[in-house]
Amino acid sequence: MKTITVNIDSRNYPIYIGNNLLINSELLSKHIVGKQVFIVSNSTVASYYLDTLLATCQGYKTDFILLPDGEQYKTLTVLNRVFDQLLLNHHHRDTTILALGGGVIGDMAGFAAACYQRGVPFIQIPTTLLAQVDASVGGKTAVNHRLGKNMIGAFYQPKAVVIDLNTLKTLPEREFRAGLSEVVKYGLIQDANFFNWMEQSAEAILQKEMEPLAWMVQRCCEIKSNIVAEDETEKGIRALLNLGHTFAHAIESVTHYQRYLHGEAVSIGLCLAANLSYQMQSLSASDCERIKQLLLKLGLPVSIPADLYKKQIITAMGLDKKNIGGQRRFILLNQIGNGIIHDQILHDVIEQVLV
């Protein structure tokens, strides 16, 4: 088992990465504060892992709630069911909430923990690759509003993140690949060696070989925790984690969140961000091509499909000239391994990239 510490003032917490951590009651007990535990999960994840976690929590007064599975249920209305069950089951201020699932469950359980009785401890137990390398680390918690994704939320750090790599064995292949785009993102913004290693290890990773998989998750968590330690509330460097995401969110929005998984849209967004960096003369054509080839090798989409209109995407990015005077903040690459924040991207350059 590897342990990484996220250093945030007086709220340091460990990220544990290993196998069979779900059955490690000693490990979990270290971070359970009182005598009560409340597990938040969904029916899909629960069918694989709830009984195991309940057994691990023996000795605590444990209750659970299974939320419906899907991004469309990441709402305040559904979150209220969590508060109902916590109250009906008499959970006090020293209860510990366990988030067992992907990013949707992690974001919702984390936000419930931030709000319930003005804040109770919680532990992230992420079961998708995307949640293990990204969503469970760094304390962003939220639900969606009908007018915008993740619009209601809080920065609220967990007491620990417990990553059991075995849970990836039941994750659908498409979800696994989608998570890999966020992995590539870390190499792009901060670690050229890691990007090189991804190029060499792509097959082993797709085969889910345990050693490279464990190293990959560890490296992502290290990069993310360093960034979060420096800039918890995204006043500066944390924005690098949004590489490709402005494009991705627009693509998800114009396809009504039906056609692409988030990570797939991020993959297209990474290629567009690389192309934008090339247009701005900060990235070479050969690096652009390497990025595209790695994402293709990982089975991810790399371009906007022909049936989507450039204009729709520009509008969805809030980039209409009339709205913003043609300029907006983007994350660019100086080279592979070096992301930069750029505030002066001209509308016309973005149009060229979207051709």
Burial class, 342, CB count within 10 angstroms (exposed 0-12 / middle 13-18 / buried 19+): middle
Residue 100's closest CA among 52, 171, 42?
42
Interface with ligand NAD (CB under 6 A), residue from 101, 187, 269, 301: 101
What is the residue type of 199? E
Provide the 3-class DSSP secondary structure of residue 96. strand
Rounded CA-CA distance 284/274 in Å is 9
Q: Which of 149, 238, 259, 342 is catalytic?
A: 238
Residue 104 contacts which entry, ligand NAD, ligand GLY, none (Cβ below 5-8 A, type-dependent): ligand NAD
Which residue, judged by CB position, is nearest to ligand GLY in the bound state?
241
Amino acid residing at 348? D
Q: Report, in Å, the least distance between residue 184 CB and ligand NAD.
A: 14
Does 262 qualify as catalytic in the annotation?
Answer: yes
Q: Is 242 a catalytic residue?
A: yes
Told to check if 42 binds ligand NAD by CB under 6 A, we report yes
Tokens standing for residue 300: 């991810």
In this complex, which beta carbon is closest to ligand GLY, that of residue 140 or of residue 177?
140
Judged by CB under 6 A, the stretch of 201-209, 233-241, 276-284, 295-303 that binds ligand GLY is: 233-241
219 is catalytic: no
222 touches ligand NAD (CB under 6 A):
no
Has 140 been annotated as catalytic? yes
Q: What is the DSSP string of 15-41?
A: EEEESSGGG-HHHHHTT--SSEEEEEE
Least Cα distance to 81 among 61, 106, 119, 109 occurs for 109
48 binds ligand NAD (CB under 6 A): yes
**Nearest partner of 252 among 301, 299, 186, 294, judged by Cα:** 301
What are the backbone angles phi and psi of residue 23, rounded to the nearest 5°?
-100, 10
- Residue pair 89/56 in contact (Cβ under 8 Å)? The answer is no
Output the smallest distance, CB 102 to ligand NAD, in A.
Answer: 2
- Residue from 31, 74, 91, 140 touching ligand GLY (CB under 6 A): that is 140
Candidate list 177, 249, 292, 328, residue with the active-site label: 249
- Is 149 near ligand GLY (CB under 6 A)? no
Q: Reduced to 3 states, what is the DSSP secondary structure of residue 255?
A: coil
Which positions from 132 through 151 interact with ligand NAD, judged by CB under 6 A? 134-135, 138, 140, 150
Choose, from 31, 74, 182, 292, the residue flagged as catalytic.
182
Instruction: Please give the structure tokens belonging to residue 74.
Output: 């990441």
Q: Going residue by residue from 277 to 316, which x/- string records binding to ligand NAD, judged by CB under 6 A? A: ----------------------------------------
Select from 1, 34, 61, 71 the one that contacts ligand NAD (CB under 6 A).
71
Copy the structure tokens of residue 330: 């983007």
For ligand GLY, the closer of residues 71 and 199 by Cβ is 71
117 binds, among ligand NAD, ligand GLY, none (CB under 5 to 8 A by kind): none
Alpha-helix residue ranges (DSSP H) falling in the chain:
25-29, 43-56, 76-88, 103-115, 129-130, 173-190, 192-206, 210-230, 245-254, 262-279, 285-297, 310-316, 321-324, 347-353
Residue ranges that bind ligand GLY, judged by CB under 6 A: 134, 138, 140, 234, 238, 241
Residue ranges that bind ligand NAD, judged by CB under 6 A: 42, 44-45, 48, 69, 71, 74, 101-105, 107, 127-128, 130-131, 134-135, 138, 140, 150, 167, 170-171, 175, 262
